[in-house]
Every structure is written in structure tokens, then in C-alpha cells.
Amino acid sequence: MTEQLLGPRVWGESCGRAVLKATPDDFRVTEVLDIALSGAGEHLWLLIEKRGLNTEEVARQLARAAGISLRNVSYAGLKDRQAVTRQWFSLQLPGRADPDFSALWNDQLRCLEQARHQRKLQRGAHSANGFFIRLTDLVADQSQLDERLQIIAAQGVPNYFGPQRFGRDGSNLHDARRWAGQGGYP
């Protein structure tokens, strides 16, 4: 991964160097969903674990396997391709049995849970993302690092909005600035 500076650092300058995301297993994201699924309804919800695939690729594969339009596949948020992620999808299947997705499952893609529900999954419906981040090739002063980790454990870290939040090559920055100037988003 190329080095990216995150801008102002809330806890001071870096106290070391490391490699982030040397492999997809070094960066794991799990959507936390606080919705009690009813077990009945026209929407099939799937908790999918994916490696090396982005959210839209998985949505297309699910739509194709279920024989439905891509617009009938929903997800709460976009997840990184260069990671192992667990995220929810819903498929609108009115009056249809659960599709057989077994041909899709492999080392890159598998289903961990599935249940029916009356409503589709809405964007942003998950309550949080849980992260596991492994840094490799660490070079740091151990005492400085221990001190910094204690601060982070006690007070947390800010939610940086890096380049992935604003589109490829910052193509969405104009919209972000306009929305911020209006006090929100459309």
C-alpha cells in the first residue's frame, strides 16, 4: 500500500512506522447490525464474508445467482476490497423461495448467516463497524508506543475520512463541500 498522510494527528506525531494491509487478513471489518430479523418476509438477508472483492461485485454475484435485478440487492455500506469483511446484504424475493447460492461460495466468498425479514436493508442501517487491524514490519520506540497505545485505549481515535470517502481521485469533493456548506447532505 502506498503511504498516505492522514493530516493532523490528534495524539501528536507518529511514534513509529509500519506496513498497513500487507495482506487482506491484516485488515478485517465486521458490520454490527442491531436489527432483530423477523424470520419472515420478502427480503432475504445474508451476512457475507468476502476477501479480495468489493461490495458491488458481491451484490452483482448475488443478483445473478438469485435471478433478480441488481436494484433488488441492498447493503448498509461499502466495504474495502483489500480486506476480509463481513457485511449484510438483503435481496428482495417476493413470493420466492430462498435461492441456492452454493455455487457462489468459495475461499473468497461465503455466507455466515441468513434470515428473512419484512424490510430491505437500508444504507447506513448498521450501528457500527468493528475493526481488526494488524500492522507488520513495525519500527518504533517501545516505550513511546506503549504510552500512545494506553492513550488510544482510554480515549479512542478519530474517524478519519480519507480518500476512499470522497471518490476516485477526490471526484466527490465538490459535492462534499457543497453539502457541508448546507449543514448536511441531501
- The residues assigned a catalytic role are 80
Contact 46, 87 (CB under 8 A): no
Which of 153, 134, 34 is CA-nearest to residue 84?
Answer: 134
Contact 48, 112 (CB under 8 A): yes
How many helical (H) and strand (E) elements, i.e. helices and strands, does the chain have?
A: 3, 8
Note whether 116 and 41 are within 8 A (CB). yes
d(CA 61, CA 70): 9
